[in-house]
A and B are shown apart, each in its own frame.
Chain A
Amino acid sequence: MKILSKNGNELLLLAMKEDSATKGDYMLIEDRNRSMIVQVYDEEYLSSQALIEDIVKEEVVNASSVENLHDPLNIGSLSRLVRDARIFRAKIRASVNDGKLSSDVTWLPSRVESKIRRLAMKELNSFLGRRGIFPIPLGRAGEGEEFEIYAEDLDGRLTVITGKKESGKSHLSKMLVKTLVQHGAFVIIFDLNNEYGGLGWNRDGTPSVIHHQVKVLEPGKTLRFSLNYCGKGAVSGMLKNALDMPAASMREFFRIWDWLENKQSLSIDAIGNAVNTWNINELVRDALVSRYHVIQSSRLFADGGFRFEDVISAGSGGAAMVINMGEASSTVRRMVVELVLSKLVDLLERKVIPPIFLFAEEAHLYIRDTYWEDIITRMRHFGIYTTFITNQPDAIGDAIYRQVDNIFLFNFTNDGDLDKISKVSLADNDTIRSIVRTLPQRHCLAIGKAVCDLPVVIRVAAAEVLTLGETKKFFKK
């Protein structure tokens, strides 16, 4: 391989047939005591007008009659080599001076003297100084080398996993959840497809290593809260944001709540009775009654009920709380999310529970717009570290992308999606557009802190846990 030219932060590398590199591979250009780290982001043929004319001419000639060749100098094979020559487009990522990584890429390596070789992930990691205590093996990168990130890279960070449908997003997020739990972390998952329940089981049907640490919560069944546990704040937040209760009605509701609380008879039934008998404007009563019926039919409230701190104190080795929302109506989903997030903030504020990781699938379907900012700014300080999983990159606002620490990008072929991602992503436009467009299934481009800001293409390892949430089909294979 040889350097052909440089344009901005891009190098063109000339490669012959036997020189192999794939999109995303890192190359080391060694020039005396300095080296440059570049990343291949695109591959094309070495093309010139003359070469194209030659190829076309030969094809036309060979199509018109059968060829018989006498080539004593074997020039034809050399000619074929030239026709097969390729150009690798590579982005300059860093340089290595005296064995130390540097961002000084203002020098040009020699076109004649430089030696170009593929950089092993192990070497890249040693240059980057990537190390941690809690590894999360993700799969393979580069030339089939094991690749892992560290749980510390997700701790206190905002992460986005995005890609088109069936590209492998949920697969990666399950892998992250499983390993985080194994490392003792507490994870809450808003599961829209009821698929994370499989984390407790291996594919062969045997219990997984985190079998006892997975708690599947069904809203209205295993996920029910007592009104006392939720508190007035969480319930009023739910009424306001999920059930759009007007301010005047809210005031009456607070009065009813305070009155029942003072009487120590706070319950759903007691609220229902009070709403019916309370001396209020009929319109306000109507508003309260309609909300009361929604709450009652959601069956989210009961005496006793679920307590996060119980699960957390019981599972000292980490736990995954999977909130199945696949069968819940959109109103109930919003109610659940409001209640859960409010309660978590309350618990974290009071330091009752340790920081938790939140995995939210297609969060735009159940989190109100104004809440996004809250999640990525305020809740982060309380200790809720969110990972958004979505197949609609434009559903997440630019403000959130600007706060993102890690992005795991799966395949996108749609230009609109690629435009969105390349505009807001942490890597350059060319890399995103070229690599992401051609990523096979279960391959992702990791960008951000987890990979020390050097984009890495990862072949995500096969799932060990049971895959649930598959689309129910009429025609069976």
Chain B
Amino acid sequence: MLSNMATQLNPPFHASLNLGDLGIVESVSKCLAPKLDELRGKKIVFSCDDKKMIPFDGWGMRSNPYTATIVTTIRPIKENALVAAIDSSSVKLAETEEGSLYGIKCGIATAYAGRALMHFRIGPVLFYLSESTIQYSELEERLARLVLLDDDFAKRLVRVRAERAVQKELASHFTNSIILVDGSLKASVFEDRERSISKIAESCVLRRNMMIGISKGTKFKVLDRAATPLTKVPGPAYIEVDMIIKSLIRNTVGSNSMVKLEKSSPVLRADILGDRSESLGMLLGNDPVAGGYPETLRLAHYISMFSSTEMTCLRSHVLNSYDVTELAADDIRKTLLGSISV
């Protein structure tokens, strides 16, 4: 028994440990079929920092299963209408034992008759999410718990709620206008019942507003391929992709298109509530477009971003206004991995 104990306390150790002996190499190589020969002859775009990279001239016709899709050119409609673009950003500002503090900023940029009109900055506004405060969000219990556990969900909740609130008000107050939204027109689990995308769409229809949701990138690769014919068109144009989108996701509002707003500009996904050609034509007629992206949406994005100065000021505001005590804290990754960035 004593001999056994000694063996357990001092397991056999060889200075020249070999990965092959341990079977790790084989195990890793078999965990998933690499199938690298499948790469041969393919067109490739290298990824960079998890950013969406798109080929300048599209993926080419060979790989396009939707070559038969009709490309419709967009003609700017010179009929004056107000364009209001909305964007927002949220940040996690602080954490307590019970919850987290989030900040939100919204930006609304407007244009009329092809000229920037004015813009509105809303915020920063702070929201404290904890077990006791989340109950006022009317979220389903499991979702609420998820929000408290995951910061990304929480930031999304705050952003969706704020954006929808702004969109709802714009849709209910404007008439014959274009409401531009950053991202797709898709219902979110975080929406509040009274300010859901469907309610907003309803208001838009009632007040003859058009709503366009423009996504800077799409995770559906098939859409990029479907949009290939657009790269060959010299001017603004769109392709209908309702079939693809509706087959992939539910709860979207309006029709789905891939659009190119300028010559040699990127192709974007656009969800449109209203007549496609009219909405896009009105948008081009009333909102300056630069680099293939509406200026109002770009401006709304800029003014809704948090600057580092604002972050500093928000911290100062929290410290001065809510009788909180700041604890010394450290970056856990830095502590564990060292200061060399890897």
- Listed in ascending order, the chain B residues whose CB lies under 8 Å from chain A are 109-110, 116-126, 295, 299, 302-303, 307-310, 312-314, 316-317
Contact = CB atoms under 8 A, between A and B. Distances in A.
B116 A69 contact: no
A430 B315 CA distance: 36
Nearest to A51: B309
A78 interface: yes
A77 to B, nearest CB: 9
Contact of A65 (B118, B122, B125, B314): B118
B125 A72 contact: yes
A87 to B, nearest CB: 16
Contact of B313 (A65, A70, A75): A75
Given A53-B307, A65-B117, 12 more contacts: A50-B309, A54-B307, A57-B302, A66-B117, A66-B119, A67-B118, A67-B121, A72-B125, A73-B125, A73-B317, A75-B310, A82-B313
Contact of A64 (B123, B299, B309, B313): B299
A219 B118 CA distance: 78
23 contacts: A50-B308, A50-B309, A51-B308, A51-B309, A54-B308, A54-B309, A61-B119, A64-B295, A65-B118, A66-B117, A67-B120, A68-B119, A69-B120, A70-B122, A70-B123, A71-B123, A72-B125, A73-B125, A75-B310, A79-B309, A79-B313, A82-B309, A82-B312
Interface of A: 48, 50-51, 53-54, 57, 61, 64-75, 78-79, 81-83
Contacts of B119: 61, 65-68
A65 B111 CA distance: 9
A79 B313 CA distance: 6
B135 to A, nearest CB: 23
Contacts of B316: 78
A78 B307 CA distance: 13
A86 B309 CA distance: 15
A50 B125 contact: no
A69 B118 CA distance: 11
A144 B220 CA distance: 72
A82 B310 CA distance: 9
Contact of A75 (B295, B308, B317): B317
Closest 10 CB pairs of A and B: A78-B313, A65-B116, A66-B118, A50-B308, A54-B307, A68-B120, A70-B122, A75-B313, A65-B119, A79-B313
Contacts of B314: 73, 75
Contacts of B313: 75, 78-79, 81-82
Nearest to B116: A65
Nearest to A65: B116
B309 A83 contact: yes
A48 B311 CA distance: 14
Nearest to B307: A54
Nearest to B288: A64
A83 B309 CA distance: 8
A144 to B, nearest CB: 34
B121 A71 contact: yes
A79 B299 contact: no
Given A54-B308, A82-B312, A73 B116 contact: no
Contact of A61 (B302, B309, B317): B302
B173 to A, nearest CB: 15
A71 to B, nearest CB: 7
A122 B17 CA distance: 79
A81 B320 CA distance: 15
A456 to B, nearest CB: 37
Contacts of B312: 82
A75 B123 CA distance: 8
B270 to A, nearest CB: 23
Contacts of B299: 61, 64-65
B307 A57 contact: yes
Contacts of A48: 308
A74 B295 CA distance: 27
A73 B318 CA distance: 10
A172 B313 CA distance: 49
A305 B233 CA distance: 106
Contacts of A61: 119, 299, 302-303
A75 to B, nearest CB: 5
B90 to A, nearest CB: 15
A51 B299 CA distance: 19
Contacts of B310: 75, 79
